[in-house]
Chains A and B, each alone.
Chain A
Amino acid sequence: AQTVTQSQPEMSVQEAETVTLSCTYDTSENNYYLFWYKQPPSRQMILVIRQEAYKQQNATENRFSVNFQKAAKSFSLKISDSQLGDTAMYFCAFIKPTSNTGNQFYFGTGTSLTVIP
């Protein structure tokens, strides 16, 4: 079974500072995809960043970057220059791309991030 663990239920960061959200996962698969989703109070899940397990290079999207450690099964999200609009619940998620599971996400329990002005 696939499990995703986010050990930080809540975090806060000063505006313009950097914060790192942790995520670990457990799987016996070798090929899979990892995601960070953001869920603001509007409730809509928004994709922040995606990482393919077969790629060694860490994914980056503007102020967002990941530290993907495949052997350690760790997938942390770094947010640089934090902005008030980054305040949201952040979910780490996993998909294994086999033909019978398609788009079934396995989500962590989330980290509530508050950016303090």
Chain B
Amino acid sequence: KAGVTQTPRYLIKTRGQQVTLSCSPISGHRSVSWYQQTPGQGLQFLFEYFSETQRNKGNFPGRFSGRQFSNSRSEMNVSTLELGDSALYLCASSHTFRANTEAFFGQGTRLTVV
């Protein structure tokens, strides 16, 4: 079956703009989590959605937001982009939110803010 699909793969934005990233989970998976990966900070948890509800949120400013649709696809939005938002954004899908279910990652969206 198809894996986790993230679009777009690459994105270049200007400081101050906003951006929306998309994640389509594996069919049947209802949990989607987002992570920011940077060389300096490593992988940091952004938020997790399950059945259209945000279940958990990491320590990021309010400029970072997300949502999940009824088909489990998720979007994350970053407003008022800063240079430090340049990163690889990864999403992971799993069948449930329980920790013993395997999470599958997408290939990420590489965001560059100039």
Contacts and interface: CB of A to CB of B under 8 A. Distances in A.
Interface of A: 32-33, 37, 42-47, 50, 52, 91, 95-97, 100-110
Interface of B: 31, 33, 35, 42-45, 48, 50, 55-56, 58, 88, 90, 92, 94, 97-108, 110
B45 A105 contact: yes
6 contacts: A37-B105, A43-B90, A103-B99, A105-B92, A107-B35, A108-B42
A26 B99 CA distance: 18
Given A100-B56, A103-B31, A103-B33, A44 B106 contact: yes
Contact of B92 (A42, A100, A103): A103
Contact of A100 (B35, B55, B106): B55
A104 B48 contact: yes
Nearest to B105: A45
B35 A102 contact: no
A104 B33 CA distance: 8
Max chain A Cβ within 10 angstroms of own Cβ: one of B31, B43, B90, B103: B43
Contacts of B108: 43-44
Contacts of A45: 90, 92, 105
Nearest to A4: B42
A39 B107 CA distance: 10
